[in-house]
Structure 1
């Protein structure tokens, strides 16, 4: 199973970063390899707001749809977003985001781990996994600067 963890301190509030990551419909506008996003109805639960999301990702000849259950726990301390894999080309995927208030900004913790069903995809994607994960986190950081200003607003 491939695993990637990243922690960054960013000059934005936890709410700003939470809202940015929770805005799944906008992912195709700024995330590399994200070709489309569909979000189902949101349901309030004791754990937070829950929705089902389909992300269509692709590059060159690769194109797949990933369906996940997303829990938006914006009222938790710290706020968090948990993604539970439902279906697609993976055997397993786990992903979460934590947004800790820290100083004048936020300590962002990002975690993703996955394994593909196909040995072919596992080998190909494994070679690019760390770079792709770093680019994805950087794309969120760039989007935050665009929306909230370089030093947070």
Structure 2
């Protein structure tokens, strides 16, 4: 084959596209939208005592039985007794899975009895004053455990009694001889940043649903344990007795 013909064939040969995969291309992937820290929030008014709901939220060992995306949950460390002699979760090992991906991570826990349950992982730090969690003094200043899934994760449950007040100037139409039922305002805030941009890409469709699904899961859990068909029995797994035993376990 003549030299001019060889030159023409080299010119017509397609350029391999794999050469575009370089460090600059990787940097572009890492900075895709959605890789920045994200905040998810959800608030509900639930018709239960705040103390009962708090016991359910602090029962981390049971999360894998009803919390969405949680496939394993185990408390690995407990706090010192609080002023009432109760111990609270101080650390837990959790496994989450979605889209065929499963990862395990460790969370540092801080419990303000009756009002706040906070779980920290990675670079996350708490804003709870140490004076409110003296029983967690052993781990309060310790950094949260690093992990391969979250660069930072702060999950905070806040509870407070909710007392309904009718609008001013309007007469109360519905009257009853019964006392109003206890209600609780439950506020969930999840601040997170994935360590791996691949997880960010996989979670884009799922993330907005996480907070609503979590509160809904706890609401369904409360219905089963606190006022479901089996409430008040001791042999039903979803009975009030199970909730009481969970509360006793926290005070062990």
User: What TM-score, normalized by structure 1, do the two folds share?
Assistant: 0.88
CA shift, 1:50, in A, is: 4.9
CA shift, 1:31, in A, is: 1.3
CA shift, 1:87, in A, is: 2.7
**CA–CA separation in structure 2 for the residues paired with 1:94 and 1:132:** 14
Match of 2:196 in 1: 118
The unaligned stretches of length 5 or more in structure 1 are: none
CA contact 1:2–1:129 (8 Å) conserved in 2: no
1:57 equivalenced with 2:116 (yes/no)? no
User: What TM-score, normalized by structure 2, do the two folds share?
Assistant: 0.55
**CA–CA separation in structure 1 for the residues paired with 2:112 and 2:200:** 31
Match of 1:127 in 2: 205
CA contact 2:43–2:188 (8 Å) conserved in 1: yes
1:87 equivalenced with 2:161 (yes/no)? no
Q: Counterpart of 1:127 in 2: which secondary structure?
A: coil
**1:59-111 CA distance string (max 9 Å, x none):** 34210012111112115xxx111111123211111111111011231001110
The unaligned stretches of length 5 or more in structure 2 are: 1-36, 122-144, 164-181, 232-239, 241-252
More strand by share: 1
CA contact 2:43–2:185 (8 Å) conserved in 1: yes
* Dislocated runs of 4+, deviation >2 Å: none
CA contact 2:160–2:184 (8 Å) conserved in 1: yes
**CA–CA separation in structure 2 for the residues paired with 1:132 and 1:82:** 16
Indicate the structure (1 or 2) with the bigger Cα radius of gyration: 2
Higher relative contact order (CA 8 A, sep 6+): 1
**CA–CA separation in structure 1 for the residues paired with 2:146 and 2:212:** 24
Superposed CA RMSD in Å reads: 2.2
CA contact 1:5–1:109 (8 Å) conserved in 2: yes
Matches within 5 A, 1:32-71: 32-44=68-80, 49-71=88-110
Segment of structure 1 superposing worse, 122-131 or 8-17: 122-131
1:25 equivalenced with 2:61 (yes/no)? yes
CA shift, 1:132, in A, is: 2.4
